[in-house]
Structure 1
């Protein structure tokens, strides 16, 4: 990972959390001031537990609304890795309680959730204005979430203030070689559907097929080859439908589809 920062996107199940744990472990001493943003309480608990199991002598400090302003200011001066909510950090940054000019860097977990108007993006903007040397490292394993909308990656990287994008899908040569060295043992179990479940399944598939046929009939001006029942079984299908049929862009584009299509997408 680039020393000044990067946005790392990995395939799900490839060990992104292990990378985050290692990054935190490397900066847990008081010689650094690191902020870890965008984590849930459950993720914080898992992180603290994993580092405790590894025997890390100084665990990250959790900063939440249970600590008053004076205590938070003292913790910022001590340093180490701080798990702080974005809302509290914004207040402390604007109140100048945080010695942000001495910060070593920012770690952003679940980076796919960051938007241009989010608290995390606002924090990163302030950090970059006051500290040009601090690194920003953002992590995500939700690649499908980065395909929604036009220019999603570019907008997200601007919000994260990073220029280096690192993609590590499962088909990456280095990842593929590593996975083949220790192939998993898979035990597949299947449970037969009951009679009522099979009836319900057939009814749902017939309804989907009927809706897709109607969509194809009223949207002949655009590519509808992907609108099939088989593709409808995947989570990304909703995104595919919206990208193909929603009237985004110029008014000319909007006139290429029937007014019936949006009603089928949003019944």
Structure 2
């Protein structure tokens, strides 16, 4: 199957077709990070259709998800039904001589990482006849992973073959320090291909057939609004206490900012350099603000019983301290804090449990 014979079948994949050309320009391969929903399986399938037996055997490390493998096979059949051939899967069940014949066949094969590394180390796999290696889980690759070890051994035996690594979980590629750079380094890859939804070719194709979005919002009950109001007031009290430390930028310490996830990062960025000098109360306030923001988030995500159970867990683990712990006298501000804390529990109890009065005519029975 040559590249020319598949051109007609890929006309509808404009942004994927352009990405294919970019990948084919680099004979050493690269790291491709797609935005979620851009059909990684379709991209892999179209690349497999461009493979020719004369190039050598193409190995794909079997993905942990069976769904991805089935999608690749489905798109292979859809894109080119006339020349469709299911990639052979090499597992431990196959004898050595059968595996060797598959390695020499020049076809596309799925292979488990364990079998591949064993055959590489025992010289049962002639690496010189392998045209390339495809890895589908770049987000889970690390310096100590099996995939990194495989690539290191494979590169030492065959420097002319390409290694292409893919991931459709961009959020997992930003965890930790320089995740993408470390992944490229351990896989000996030089090029990085980023394809977000706002990329020109992607956005143009998405705009051709925009989806119909139906926004359905369920209004909060009066008790949920009561919990929300109480949490916001408690957050305001915590922020007021933090302002008294004179160690943070008071302009960023607002209740409005406290409703967003970025607020934790803002506070940590300001306090990290002086974290070791902060008192116990200030550190606890930072933790409390994070917990209160979770309570706001879970209020609209959890059902009433689960939310109450989470509150009970907090009550047991943290004993729900109050600002007045270090005050000799309880002032009006501390009383308001206590009232709001109790209000959260009371409203949660009212939502979770309803009083049902039995009909008198059934009491006799």
Quote the residue 2:311 is aligned against. Answer: none
Q: 1:198-237 maps to which residues of 2 (within 5 A)?
A: 199=223, 203=227, 214=238, 217=242, 220-221=247-248, 225=252, 228-232=257-261
Which is richer in helix?
A: 2
The alignment's TM-score, normalised by the length of structure 2, stands at: 0.58
Alignment of 1:162-181 (within 5 A): 162-180=189-207
CA contact (8 A) 1:106 1:135 kept: yes
Equivalent residue for 1:9? Answer: 33
TM-score normalized by the length of structure 1: 0.77
- Whole-angstrom CA distance in 2 between matches of 1:37 and 1:124: 11
Structure 1: give runs of 5+ residues left out of the alignment.
none
Shift of 1:67: 2.1
Query: RMSD of the alignment, in Å?
Result: 3.7
SS at match of 1:22: helix
**Within 1, Cα distance between the matches of 2:144 and 2:259?**
37
1:103 deviates by 1.2
The answer to whether the 8 Å contact 1:28/1:60 transfers is no
Instruction: Note the 1:1-267 alignment, pairs <5 A.
Output: 1=23, 2-27=26-51, 29=53, 31-37=55-61, 39=63, 40-53=65-78, 54-55=80-81, 56-180=83-207, 182-190=208-216, 192=218, 195=221, 199=223, 203=227, 214=238, 217=242, 220-221=247-248, 225=252, 228-232=257-261, 240=265, 244=269, 255=276, 260=283
CA distance in 2 between counterparts of 1:223 and 1:102 reads: 64
Contact 1:7 1:166 in 2 (8 A): yes
Deviation at 1:64, TM superposition (A): 2.1
Return the offset for 1:74.
Answer: 2.3
The separation in 1 between residues aligned to 2:194 and 2:210, in whole angstroms, is 23
Structure 2 CA distance, aligned partners of 1:27 and 1:120? 22
Name which structure has the greater RCO, CA cutoff 8 Å, separation 6+. 1
Cα distance in 2, alignment partners of residues 92 and 145 from structure 1: 31
Instruction: Between 132-141 and 44-53, report the one with greater CA deviation.
Output: 44-53
Look at both structures and tell me which one has the larger radius of gyration over its CA atoms: 2
Asked whether the 8 Å contact 2:89–2:110 carries over to 1, the reply is yes
Q: How many residues align?
A: 256
Q: Unpaired runs of 5+ in structure 2?
A: 1-22, 292-317, 319-365
Q: Distance in 1 between matches of 2:220 and 2:171?
A: 33
